[in-house]
Every structure is written in structure tokens, then in C-alpha cells.
Amino acid sequence: MHQQFATVFVFMLLGLAFLFVSQIASKLLRPKNPYAAKQQSYECGEEPEGSPWIQFNVRFYLIALFFIVFDVEIIFMLPWAVVFNEMLGTVGPLAFWEMFTFVCVLLVGLAYVWLKGDLDWVKTIIARDDDELVNRGLSRYSSGDKLGKPGLGASEYV
């Protein structure tokens, strides 16, 4: 078994060697002519405007949080899945119903997040009047939630 992991390690070293050798080969062959305009951040040919550390949608953080919960769940279930067959023989149906309970607890979490609307990427805003929409830079006919179904109000994109 140790030898198998040693192979993985040797592969990693080989991969790194390949990366460095090809970078060095490229360094010896390629031209080098840097100047300030060339090294500007690319913004479609315009002068870069402001800082590139822009604000982005907070939902990216929420997705990362949900991911951790469910990924830990999968890691927890993998060893169980491997011994599932044996467990059915030794401890019987309990092997399954215990994991069933665990998954149900997690499903309650998923249902909670779902009902809170945190899985919706686009939040529908119920606007009082057209002025409020215009102030937010939106139109009454922007598409709403879920797969392009027209919303009641308007929606806000990333």
C-alpha cells in the first residue's frame, strides 16, 4: 500500500518537473519586451478603472457555507457506503436506518434554507412604483425568479 502512495508522490514530482522544464524552455525561447502599457490590467483596451477588488454578490459566501455542510456529509457517508454490504449482514437493517436518520436531519436543513429563499440566486423585489425600479436601474419587465418565468416585480442580477 505504501508503494501505491509512493507512486502518487513520484507522479506529483514528475508533473512538477514537467511544468518547470517547459516553463524554463519557454523562457529561453520567447522574446521579452515588457513596457508599462503592455503590463496594465486588461480591461478591453481602456485604462483600468478603479480597483479590481470589486464588490460581489454575498450569495457566493452563502453557497460556500452550504457546500461545507453537504460536503462533510458526503465525506461522512463514504466510509459507511463502503461497509454497507457487510453491515447489512452483521447488524441488519439498523445499518441503513441510522444513516437514514442522519440524512433526514440534513434534509430539514436543506428545507429550511430552501424556504428561507437562500437558494434563490435572484431575489424578487416587490416595487411600490415605477420610480423605485428606475432608481435601482431596473425595468418592470426584467425576468423574475426560476428559469425566465416573468416575475411580479423585477429582479436584481449579479
Pick between residue 63 and residue 130 the one whose CB is nearest to other proteins.
63
Per the structure block, which three cell numbers stand in for 67? 457546500
Cα distance between residue 139 and residue 153, in whole Å: 9
Among residues 103, 105, 134, 152, which is the contact residue for other proteins, using CB under 8 A? 103
Binding of residue 102 to other proteins (CB under 8 A): no
Around Cβ 151, how many Cβ atoms within 10 Å?
A: 19
Residue 155 is classified by DSSP as E
Binding of residue 98 to other proteins (CB under 8 A): no
Rounded to a whole number of angstroms, the minimum distance from the CB of residue 129 to other proteins is 25
Among residues 97, 117, 136, 141, which is the contact residue for other proteins, using CB under 8 A? 97
Around Cβ 154, how many Cβ atoms within 10 Å?
A: 23
Binding of residue 105 to other proteins (CB under 8 A): no
Pick between residue 26 and residue 135 the one whose CB is nearest to other proteins.
26
Are the C-beta atoms of 114 and 141 separated by less than 8 Å? no
